[in-house]
Amino acid sequence: MFRDRAGGKWILGSREEEKLARDVYATLHSKWGLRVFGNISQGEDRHFSAIKVLLDRYDLPDPAANNPVGVFQNAGLQTLYGDLIKQGERSLKSAMRVGAIIEDLDIRDLEKAAEATDNSDLKLACSYKWGTTILHRE
């Protein structure tokens, strides 16, 4: 079990946040056919899988287990998903804004998580995700 309560909470939340990003980008890729959305969705899927390794390592339950695209345990993420999809389906320009929103949220959450823990696994996960999130923004 994970000793650092804040760290465990971050892992659980991050799993669904990665699912949100993956699902939004995949849906926008289907809607607009823009390759960048498909590529970023694949990157988010790798993040999603990496967080699953941490869930397993620390014997934490998977909040995203068996949930189809667009379905979340966290009510706030469920609402956010609907809002982002609605906005992203309006126009390609709006879809690009949605991508920026997702990456900005990810950066903010990573900064908070890195400051809140001394756990080396979490620090490494934050560092990896930070680098790829910056690439997604460009």
Q: What tens digit of pLDDT does each residue of 88-119 get?
A: 999 999 999 999 999 888 878 777 766 666 66
DSSP 68: P
Is the predicted pLDDT of residue 135 greater than 60, yes or no?
Answer: no
Give the integer Cα–Cα distance in Å for 120 and 34: 37
Q: Enter the pTM of the model.
A: 0.85
Tokens of 43: 């990157």
pLDDT tens digit sequence for 32-77: 999 999 999 999 999 899 889 989 998 999 999 999 999 999 999 9
Q: Specify the pLDDT at position 83.
A: 98
Give the integer Cα–Cα distance in Å for 45 and 38: 11
Structurally, at CATH architecture level, domain 5-137 sits in Up-down Bundle (1.20)
**For the chain, what are the domain ranges?**
5-137
